[in-house]
């Protein structure tokens, strides 16, 4: 009987994997985790947009589990990566993961991890190569800024949620970066990353000639449901208008 392997499971050729979350590991160069979301009504022959999610400080790739259905259950394949740096959580004895700051000697590992995850996902599933979107929350947003502005030609858009630019300003690859659409969404009452920092990031990107959509929401550091609803509409506007 003809079968195929996907996420460590065996499927008949006539079988379609169920929608939901699948945890796997990169086959190379390191066994880093990838949490993959398959949308409702998954169609194996359709070239899906891919959302690449970088979690907040102290969380993990599992932050995608409540976040993704609030964005869209149907429109995207999504993958979430795990920050390589172990950090303390907000509660005593709790640990999570974070992302290295700009200039860290192992910063390149994050880029290697991210692009290897995209390549392996594109081998497993049909992904539209021009519809790969990088989405970062909190500290993951800073990592998303660094990577997207350094490799703007690799992404169809960048979404930054409740975050700011890294302390060491990222390198802009112009003029390629000017073709990268950016959505900056921030909570007005965010006490972790003040609104002024998000506004400063949006203004800097605008001055550099990037297409920036800056939106505010009546929330704190938490992701407001309307924020995710708007992010979905913004991403789909790129999918339907640009491609």
DSSP codes of every residue in 136-158: EETHHHHHHHHHHHHSGGG-SEE
Per-residue pLDDT at 174: 82
Answer yes or no: are the C-beta atoms of 75 and 42 closer than 8 Å.
no
Given pLDDT bands bounded at 50, 70 and 90, which one contains residue 211?
very high
Answer yes or no: are the C-beta atoms of 39 and 70 closer than 8 Å.
no
130 token code pair = 């021009």
Query: Could you tell me the CA-to-CA distances from 52 to 156, 160, 166, 197 in Å, in that order?
Result: 11, 12, 19, 23
163 token code pair = 């975050």
Q: Looking up tokens 């609104």, which residue turns up?
A: 195
Per-residue pLDDT at 30: 80
Cα 216 to Cα 184: distance, rounded to the nearest angstrom = 9
| In the predicted structure, residue 105 carries a pLDDT above the cut 70 | no
| In the predicted structure, residue 185 carries a pLDDT above the cut 90 | yes
DSSP 8-state class, residue 192: S
The lowest-confidence range among 101-105, 121-125, 239-243 is 101-105
Cα dihedral sign, 91-60-78-65: negative
Per-residue pLDDT at 109: 87
Per-residue pLDDT at 175: 87
Average pLDDT of 225-236? 96
Given pLDDT bands bounded at 50, 70 and 90, which one contains residue 205?
very high
| In the predicted structure, residue 242 carries a pLDDT above the cut 60 | no
Q: Domains in the chain, start-ordered, CATH in brackets? A: 19-242 (3.40.50.1820)
Report the chain's mean pLDDT, rounded to a whole number: 90
Cα 231 to Cα 103: distance, rounded to the nearest angstrom = 30
The residue among 99, 96, 55, 101 whose CA lies nearest residue 79 is 55
| In the predicted structure, residue 51 carries a pLDDT above the cut 90 | yes
Given pLDDT bands bounded at 50, 70 and 90, which one contains residue 91?
low
The lowest-confidence range among 29-38, 153-162, 190-199 is 29-38
Cα 172 to Cα 146: distance, rounded to the nearest angstrom = 9
Average pLDDT of 36-48? 94
């Amino acid at each position: 009987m003809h079968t195929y392997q996907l996420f460590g499971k065996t499927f008949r050729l006539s079988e379609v994997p169920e929608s939901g979350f699948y945890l796997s590991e990169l086959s190379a160069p390191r066994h880093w985790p990838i949490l993959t979301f398959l949308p409702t009504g998954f169609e194996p022959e359709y070239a899906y947009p891919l959302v690449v999610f970088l979690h907040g400080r102290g969380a993990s790739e599992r932050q995608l589990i409540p976040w993704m259905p609030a964005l869209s259950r149907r429109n995207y394949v999504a993958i979430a990566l795990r920050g390589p740096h172990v950090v303390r959580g907000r509660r005593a004895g709790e640990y999570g993961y974070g992302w290295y700051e700009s200039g860290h000697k192992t910063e390149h590992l994050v880029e290697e991890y991210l692009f290897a995850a995209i390549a392996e996902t594109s081998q497993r599933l049909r992904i539209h190569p021009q519809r790969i979107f990088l989405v970062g929350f909190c500290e993951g947003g800073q990592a998303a800024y660094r990577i997207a502005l350094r490799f703007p030609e690799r992404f169809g858009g960048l979404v930054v949620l409740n975050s700011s630019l890294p302390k060491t300003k990222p390198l802009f690859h112009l003029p390629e970066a000017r073709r990268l659409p950016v959505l900056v969404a921030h909570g007005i009452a965010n006490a972790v990353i003040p609104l002024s920092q998000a506004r400063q990031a949006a203004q800097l990107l605008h001055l550099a000639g990037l297409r920036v959509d800056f939106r505010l929401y009546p929330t704190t550091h938490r992701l407001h449901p309307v924020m995710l609803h708007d992010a979905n509409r913004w991403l789909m506007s790129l999918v339907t208008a640009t491609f």
